[in-house]
Structure 1
Amino acid sequence: MRRLPPFPTLRAFLDWTAAQGQLRAIPDPVSVRHQMTAVHRAVLERAGPVLRFDHPVLEGGTRAQAPVVVNIFGTAERVAAGLGVTPEGVDDLGAFLAALRAPSPPDGLRDALSRWPMLKAALATRPKLTKNAPVQQRVVETVDLAALPIQTHWPGDAGPLITWPVVLTRPQDSKAEEVSRYNAGVYRAQVIGRDRIILRWLAHRGGAAHFRSWQKAGAAMPVAIVLGADPATLLSAALPLPETVSELGFAGVFSGARPRLVPAKTVPLMVPADAEMVIEGWVDPTETAPEGPFGDHTGYYNAPEPFPVMTVSALTTREAPLYLSTYTGRPPDEPSIIGEVFNRLALPLIRAQIPEIRDLWLPPAACSYRIAVIAIDKRYPGQARRVMMALWGMLAQFSYTKMIIVVDDDIDPRNWDDIAWALATRMDPGRDVMTLERTPMDYLDFASPEAGLAGKIGLDATTKIGTETTREWGRVMQSTPEDAAFAADLLARRGIVT
């Protein structure tokens, strides 16, 4: 499936972006407090290159030793590259991953041989263990996190925030070598001292589930925060994978190579051998601290809430490490661009569960998941409502989708003009609106009457058939294919439209 060279490290990916003319170094002094975010956002909004700040200025005014890299996933093309494909290959990769997760039995020897790429991808998920690693070239056990160029992104933020951490955890009843039971998640990590970090994991996330198992045993939980991982590991940690699938292993499917892991120095965990940095430490089963406020993907600051505290036991790095960072805010931001690609990647899996879905769009401007537009192949009355309920119940992530608009497959679900026309001509508010009350919702949705509980609305903007209407339905106007082809040929020959 892979169409690009392998990117076993962040540096390999940066070399590729440089060769594509998509990396720019900034030698000017730029403060990690607010300035870096402002520069990053201005470049991202113009679909600009990866940035490497070679002179990051720390909060105290001194120069940081590690350059800061941002905007690696600032375009859909670079997200696709991180998955090992070109933008045109995302749909095929999605179909491949859907088949990998739910394979059908082979139909004879020829079919079995044709599935060799799938078998190779499955084998690539098995991590390779090593004793020596670039990420452990330097080991610091008396850690001062203020020496790292950790950004304070927005004027109302509570303090420095680590924004691209891959947080590794395992359940209390597991062993360090049982990597298949690890969870790798991208969680907010607020620095509150020279060796203390608040980890914000929501209750439904894998890290929180692991923490509860250690709490129940009354024991501190080992944690490793990976900074500057390879693109496949970063994107796997961001994917909404099933709880039974290890993100560290799944990264091998994207990278095309077995992930290299090494034992951490001070905690019983395995960590990526080729990352830029790893922060090791322990999370106390009872200690919490107020996390936030921070600017969030909604475009608002979230309210402070208590979350667990990690005490750092070591920092391991390469000899001359890079610090990878990003910001979170009202779209566009890197998470929303990643979400657009993941939308395409997940479509084959969604269609496997709900076959009548032809296309699905999660508008990035709607915080990437709050609104969904679905195009279906409509065949019977009530089908649009069935699809709405099926999608809300399919994955935990869709339980946070507060509005679903269902359209026919002659409507482009990514075109607001098409959507508006369907709503105006195929939807009656008194008949075609379905509402639900007191359903799960992201507690960052300030429009919700209660934190964590909110209503949902479904709009059926499909053509009404059978018992859905008592009126004769209108016929859509359009040119015949022959007339449309004639017009296109004429205008092209005359140079009027190319």
Structure 2
Amino acid sequence: MFRNLHAYLTALEQRGELVRIQAPVSHELEITEIADRMVKSGGPALLFENIPEKDFPLVIGLFGTAQRTAFALGVEALEDLADKVHRLLELEPQTGLAGLMRMLPKLGALKGFFPRRVRRAPVQEVVLRGEAVDLTRLPVQKCWPKDGGPFITLPLVITKDPETGEVNVGMYRMQVLDRASTAMHWQLHKTGRLHFEKAKRLGKRLEVAVALGGDPILTYAATAPIPPVPGVNEFNLAGFLRGAGVELVRGVTVDLPVPAEAEFVLEGYVDPAEDPVVEGPFGDHTGFYTLEDLYPRFHVTALTHRRNAIYPSTIVGRPVMEDAYLIEASERLFLPPARMILPELVDYHMPSAGVAHNWVNVAIAKRYPGQAYKVAHGLLGLGQMMFAKVIVVVDAEVPVKPGLPALTHALTHALPGRDTLLTRGPIDVLDHAARAMGFGGKLIIDGTRKLPEEGGEVPFAPQTHAELPPHPGVVAQHQWPGIWAVTLEKCHPHQARDLAQALSQYPQSVGIRLLLLTDADTDAANLEEVLWAVLNNIDPERDAWVLAGAGGPILALDGTRKLPEEGFARPWPEKIVMDPEVKRRVAARWAELGLPEG
């Protein structure tokens, strides 16, 4: 564990995983461009010590690689998190003195589970109240060109259930609106939103505290999908992972516990009686902009911080970003509990091209017909896994990571139509393609070997073809074994479906089981990019079709933008693209900034 962010940065610097940048760099777009290049090349964390017109340095990339994330979480590799939880789950109630004695050696697994209250805290070395609060002193980033303003991206938002008193720590982006207020992005399914709605029913203000920094384990815990267990919250998870209780102090103006070793704490309230404020757009983790919407306003009544405070930040956008490694940590952490509910579950993985919920590979120890669907539906009932859009199920011996080999393997055993299932359920509210906000279609692909009761195996040899047919409307195309990617300049309704039907009749469709169609601004020769675009842009129930191809059935996915004439009423968001001038400016200064080539 690390006592605080400063201890973690010292350790990263000793490992050669932190670069200090003393030259001036703007918090508007420039830091994003540098950090984006670093994370995509597996580079170090970055400490920007000179940010014009701001009072504090900024650090970014704290979780920028799988290895660094494991180091932050106190393990050699992220796989070790599963072992840690498995040992905890082995604890069983014992009776009698002999049974209790046998339990004693195992109780060390619970060391640190409960927080420790303290009366003095480094985060309260400086206390600013009322008119002295000025959020514009912080180097809050404007991350992407079309963002609605600067956003706090790594906050630990602390609230208390107005009815039960249960504490929650969540991570919700916060757009800075002025010197003393932000928008609070409490989405429909989040616990913070539940606390807000309860306060609204009771006619009360909801106290809120927002911590920035501290032990990176606590920052991770705020992102983890903890099940709603009474008396268990993110402070408990962080303490369990740290092996030492999180030190908490009472806020100076709110009756909420805040991390004593944080860098900053913003204290205040949200008043449900107020009109919501316009929040966004925001370049989101999907790689698309989330459009403007209405959210509550958070009023800051006090800002406390360490004397030598460092502002922690992150960026999200087109994969791979560092949130992919936080997601992987949660995969490993929650695999043992998932196995307790679904014993046949061997492993699962959410590839970065699926930006978490859009694509989940699952390996199972199959014994009976229909078991793949049983497990898929079981996963869809587990916490935030309910947001999964496409679930690909394979046999136990098939590695689920990386994503593409497992998908290719599944296609050799999945006969489109017979072994694919469309259903519907809750969807992440950030999913712009769903039929309605928070509700849409899902696709299950059973890529396991088929038993006689399931129709048995249908021989299939994945193929590629050197010469692909020219066709009106096709901008570019590429094939991999069993997969055909096509991009088009969409200009009229149902164009993708007509094109898919035509292409499925060409001889070059023989040996293809998955046809991916998307817009012309996608690189057809980059399968990861194609999958990212398609998975973002489909509602499977609307956009997945089984075609009678020249060589057998083909599953086609329409990953193009949807038009109003196709029954899609909401605006379609843009892909995130950095300003070319910012890219040029950063590239010209790269050597001056002392950055490693990536």
Selected match of 1:85 from 56, 60, 75: 75
Partner residue, 1:381: 369
Deviations 1:147-172 (A, max 9, x none): 11111000000001000000000012
How large is the Cα RMSD of the aligned pairs?
A: 2.2
Out of 343, 364, 386, the position equivalent to 1:399 is: 386
Please, which of 274, 281, 304 is the counterpart of residue 292 of structure 2? 304
Equivalents in 2 of 1:140, 1:84: separation in Å?
34
Of 429, 438, 459, 1:452 maps to 438
SS in 2 for 1:282: strand
Matches within 5 A, 1:86-485: 86-87=76-77, 90-98=78-86, 100=88, 103-106=91-94, 115-116=103-104, 118-141=106-129, 142-173=132-163, 181-244=166-229, 245-287=232-274, 288-395=276-383, 397-416=384-403, 418-437=405-424, 439-469=425-455
Partner amino acid for 1:167? V
Q: Is the 8 A contact 2:392 2:407 kept in 1?
A: no
Alpha-carbon distance, 1:37 to partner: 0.5
Q: What's 1:69 paired with?
A: 59
Q: Does 1:51 align with 2:38?
A: no
Instruction: Tell me if structure 2 keeps the 8 A contact 1:189–1:200.
Output: yes
| Matched letter for residue 30 of structure 1 | V
Deviation per CA, 1:241-276, whole angstroms, max 9, x where unpaired? 012221112211111111111111111112111111
| SS of residue paired to 2:391 | strand
Q: Is the 8 A contact 1:435 1:455 kept in 2?
A: yes
Q: Partner residue of 1:486?
A: none
Distance 1:53 1:417 in 2: 36
| 1:9/1:231 contact within 8 Å kept | yes
Q: 1:353 to 1:261 in 2, by over 3 A?
A: same
- TM-score scaled to structure 1, two decimals? 0.87
Specify the alignment match of 1:488 in structure 2.
none
SS in 2 for 1:310: strand
8 Å CA contact 1:95–1:349 kept in 2: the answer is no
Do the aligned partners of residues 467 and 193 (structure 1) sit closer, same or farther apart at CA in structure 2, a change above 3 Å counting?
same
Segment drifting more, 417-426 vs 66-75: 417-426
- 1:414–1:91 distance in 2 versus 1, CA, 3 Å: closer
Structure 1 residue matching 2:49: 3-state secondary structure? strand
Shift of residue 115, structure 1, vs aligned partner? 4.9
Query: Does the residue aligned with 1:286 lie in a helix, a strand or coil?
Result: coil
Contact kept in structure 1, 2:186 and 2:192, CA below 8 Å: yes
Q: d(CA) in 2 for partners of 1:200 and 1:433?
A: 35
Q: 1-side partners of 2:89 and 2:256: how far apart? A: 27
Post-superposition shift, 1:51?
0.7
> CA offsets, 1:317-367, max 9 Å, x none?
111211001111121112112112221222222212111121211111111
More deviation, 97-106/14-23: 97-106
SS of residue matched to 1:347? helix
TM-fit CA distance, 1:450:
1.8
1: distance between equivalents of 2:40 and 2:105? 37
Secondary structure of the corresponding residue to residue 374 of structure 1: strand
* Distance in 2 between residues matched to 1:102 and 1:27, nearest whole Å: 50
Distance 1:466 1:229, change over 3 A: same
Asked whether the 8 Å contact 2:264–2:304 carries over to 1, the reply is yes
Q: Are 1:71 and 1:326, in contact at CA under 8 Å, matched by a contact in 2? A: yes
- Tell me the secondary structure at the aligned position of residue 96 of structure 1: helix
Q: Are residues 420 and 223 of structure 1, via their aligned partners in 2, closer, same or farther at CA, if it must alter by over 3 Å?
A: closer
Deviation larger for 409-418 or 185-194:
409-418
Alpha-carbon distance in structure 1 between the residues aligned to 2:321 and 2:412: 34
2 CA distance for matches of 1:76 and 1:224? Answer: 30
**2:223 is matched by which residue type in structure 1?**
A
How far apart, in 2, do the equivalents of 1:187 and 1:117 lie?
39
Matches for 1:486-497 after TM superposition, within 5 Å: none
Point out the more displaced range, 359-368 or 344-353. 344-353
CA distance in 2, matches of 1:103, 1:318: 40
Question: CA separation of 1:212/1:408 partners in 2, compared to 1, >3 Å: closer, same or farther?
Answer: same
Deviation of the 1:97 alpha carbon:
2.0
Identify if the C-alpha distance between structure 1 residues 108 and 363 changes in structure 2 by more than 3 Å, giving closer, same or farther: farther
Structure 2 Cα separation of the partners of residues 405 and 96 of structure 1: 27
Deviation at 1:126, TM superposition (A): 1.7
Matched, 1:9 2:1: no
Q: Deviations over 1:445-468 (max 9, x none)?
A: 222122221111111111111311
C-alpha distance in 2, partners of 1:253/1:346? 14
Cα distance in 2 for residues equivalent to 1:340 and 1:74: 12
SS of 1:391's equivalent? helix
> Quick one: structure 1 residues 107 and 73, their matched pair in 2 at CA, closer, same or farther if it must change by over 3 Å?
farther
For the 8 Å contact 2:3–2:214, the answer to whether it is kept is no
2:19 is aligned to 24
When residues 16 and 118 of structure 1 are mapped into structure 2, their CA distance, relative to the original with a 3 A threshold, is farther
Partner of 1:490: none
| 1:424 CA displacement | 3.6
Say if 1:188 and 1:200, in contact at 8 Å, map to a contact too: yes
Following the alignment from structure 2 to structure 1, what is the Cα–Cα distance between the partners of residues 409 and 25? Answer: 48
Question: In structure 2, what is the Cα distance between the partners aligned to 1:38 and 1:472?
Answer: 48
1:371 offset after TM fit, Å? 0.8
Aligned twin of 1:495: none
How far has the Cα of 1:203 moved from its partner?
2.1
Runs of 4 or more off by more than 4 Å in structure 1? 106-118, 470-474
Match of 1:159, SS?
coil
